[in-house]
Amino acid sequence: MELINGKEIQAFTLTHIGKEVESLKEKGVEICLAVIIVGNDPASRVYVNNKKKACANVGITSLEYALPQETTTEELIALIDKLNADKSVNGILCQMPVPKQIDKQAVIDAILPEKDVDCFHPVNIGKLSLGRTEILPCTPAGIIRMLEFSGVKIEGSRAVIIGRSDIVGKPMAMLLLNHSATVTVCHSKTVDLPSVTRQADILISAVGKPDIVTEDMVKEGAVVIDVGMNRNSEGKLCGDVDFEKVAPHCSKITPVPGGVGPMTITMLMENTLTAAKAQNNLL
């Protein structure tokens, strides 16, 4: 069993991105990401801080817009419109979740597709489904990058995803299909989940519940990718996979923390770079 080290792959990738950002600066192109956070969700605050740190690390300017909890959809979209029109802003993201009075879909739709570095906009999801990708969904793209870096063959493999969220499960299926895997998406209504997951050469769990992936669900020698970010009963950060029991059966597995998490932010940096290049006709 081998651990897939997200931190190491992150460091390698960020170094490469940093060099490209630097060379664009020499051509007079400064890259800027606008990060919007609404309200006081502590987890969102941690994510936003980590995104700003990653920007600083690679030489991308980050602008934070922290809006109060009671912000309306109209106020948030007014800010997005201003950032859409600002040529010095290459990427815009609104940290999710937003407070419940805000129409989340209207916010996603308001961000110009060419500045949508999360790849949440329907146009970008549509392009992904057609294999016409420039901006990629961050977590799924980070997972593909980890698999490639670790020498896992995706083409022709059987990939099983647990979870059908708009952010991870669905775009992950699309991206794996674009890489010629045979893809199955499982969810809460799947009948006999273990019989499906046991077929996986690559098993990806994106559910958000500790220990839902157990030993009996994993084929001997499978590659297991754990997207979960949970707290267990002792308050410790953990993934979806019962790591101690499952890991001995895997050829490769991602830890939590230090697996998928760092790669999500890394791909956000790559998307911001790609967006800036596209906007300057440098792709």
- Number of amino acids touching ligand GUN (CB under 6 A): 8
Please name every residue paired with 183 in a beta bridge, in sequence order, or none if there are none. Answer: 159
Complex with ligand GUN: residue 104 or 277, whichever CB lies closer? 104
Of residues 197 and 264, the one with the C-beta less far from ligand GUN? 264
Cβ 118 to ligand GUN shortest distance, Å: 5
Residues 74-103 that bind ligand GUN (CB under 6 A): 93-96
For ligand GUN, the closer CB: 100 or 189 = 100
Interface with ligand GUN includes 3 (CB under 6 A)? no
Residues classed as catalytic: 51, 95, 118
- Spell out, one character per residue from 8 to 37, where the chain touches ligand GUN: x when CB under 6 A holds, - when not: ------------------------------
Nearest to 34 by CA among 46, 48, 22: 48
Burial of 184 (0-12, 13-18, 19+ CB in 10 A): middle
**Is residue 252 within 8 Å of 127, Cβ to Cβ?**
no
In three-state form (DSSP H/G/I as H, E/B as E, the rest C), the secondary structure along 64-88 is: EEEECCCCCHHHHHHHHHHHHHCCC
Q: How far is the CB of 80 from ligand GUN (least distance, A)?
A: 12
Angle between helices 138-149 and 6-26 (to 10 degrees): 110
Q: Is 118 in the site for ligand GUN (CB under 6 A)?
A: yes
Single out the residue of 113, 226, 73, 110 nearest to residue 163, CA to CA. 226
Nearest to 58 by CA among 99, 2, 19: 19
For 226: left if phi > 0, alpha if psi spans -120 to 50, otherwise beta; the answer is beta
Give 118 or 226: the residue with its C-beta nearer to ligand GUN: 118
Contact flags string 135-164 toward ligand GUN, x per CB under 6 A = ---x--------------------------
Question: Which residues would be at the binding site for ligand GUN (CB under 6 A)?
Answer: 93-96, 118, 138, 167, 264
